[in-house]
Amino acid sequence: MIVVTGAAGFIGSCLVARLNSLGRHDLIVVDEMSGDGDPKKKNLAGKRYQRYYDKAEYLKLLKRDSFDFDVECILHMGACSSTTLDDADYFRKNNFEYSCSVAQWAAANDARLIYASSAATYGNGEMGYSDEESMVPRLKPLNLYGESKQKFDEWVLQQGYQNRMAGLKFFNVFGPNEYHKGDMRSVVSKAYGRVVSEGKMVLFKSYRPEYKDGGQKRDFIYVKDAVEAVLFFMGNPGANGIFNLGTGRAHTFNELAHALFAAVGRTPAIEYIEMPENLRDRYQYFTQADMAKLRRAGYTRAFMPLQDAVKDYCGYLSTGSCW
C-alpha cells in the first residue's frame, strides 16, 4: 500500500490523482476533515483508494503499530501551511509532532518516507537557497509555519534519517485543487475570477527600493511538476536527504499576472495595494531554488514554463474542476 497523508488537501490530492492515472489504486488516504460539509471532500471525489483514515485514527494506529496492511511508501503531505497563523502550539502538534510520529513508524517498519518541507524555511534568503545538509541548521524562517518545517528538518538530521528518507522543500506551488486554502491560495487562484469578469487584479506594493511594485520574485512551480518529482523519489529509494523542489528560476509577480491575463485573453490592468502591516516584516521578496542537488540525484525532467502552467491551470479554474 501507498499511504498519502493530507490526501484531501492540495498537493496530496494531486498525488492521488496522478497515482490513479498510473493504475495505482492500492492507496490508504489520510486527512482531517470537518464533517460532510468540508470543501476538501471535493478533492477526493472520483479518486480510487482502498481506505480512508481520519488523522486522529491514523495517529492512534501508528502509535500502536496495528495496521493490517503492508506499507510500501508514505507520502507525508499532511500539515498546516498557513504563513499567517500565530498558534505555536498548533504548529508543534500538527506539523512537528505528527511528522515525528510518521517518521519514527516508517523507520521502524522499513517503509519509504517522502515528506513535505518548505521554502519558508529559508526566511528572507540571507543564507541563500542551498539545500545542502550543512546549511539546514543555519536557516532562519520568518513565520511559525516555516519554523515548524525547519524544526522537523533539523530533527530528521539529528536522528540520522536523512539517509533513508526524502524531504522536499516545496517552493511556491500553484495549480488545481487549492481552492479550499483561502488566503493561502496562489495569486492565480485568487485573482482569476476578477481578471475574467473585470479585466483587473491587485498585487502588493513593494517596501524595498530594490524591488518595484509587483517586482517581488518567487520560484513558482506548477503542482503537476511537483507531483512528478515526488513520484521520482518514490521510484528511486536510493535518493535520500533534503532537497529543494522549485524550478530553479524566479519570476516576478508582474510576470505571473501577465501570464494570467494572456491565458484568459485580457489586456493587463494591475493595481498595487498596501501590504498588511502584519506581513511586512515576514514577507519573502525573493526565492529561487538551487536545483543542483536534485539534478545530481538523477532527476532530469524539465519543468513547465510559467506561461504554459498558468494556461493549463486556467482550464481547471474555468470549469471549477479538480485534477
Beta strands in 240-280 (DSSP E): 241-245, 251-252, 270-273
Pairing of strands 251-252, 217-218: antiparallel
SS3 letters across 47-63: CCCCEEEEHHHHHHHHH
Q: What residues have CB less than 8 Å from 237, skipping those under 6 apart?
A: 112
How far is CA 186 from each of CA 30, 62, 92, 191, 321, rounded to the nearest angstrom? 24, 33, 25, 9, 16
Backbone angles phi, psi at 95, to 5 degrees: -100, -45
- Partner residues linked to 294 by β-bridges: none
How far is CA 188 from each of CA 183, 210, 284, rounded to the nearest angstrom? 12, 24, 18
Q: What are the catalytic residues?
A: 145, 181
284 backbone φψ class: left, alpha, beta (φ>0; ψ -120 to 50)? beta
125-129 contacts, C-beta under 8 A, 24 or more apart: 125/284, 125/285, 125/286, 125/287, 128/290, 129/244, 129/287, 129/288, 129/289, 129/290
Contact at 8 Å (CB) between 273 and 205? yes
Backbone angles phi, psi at 318, to 5 degrees: -70, -25
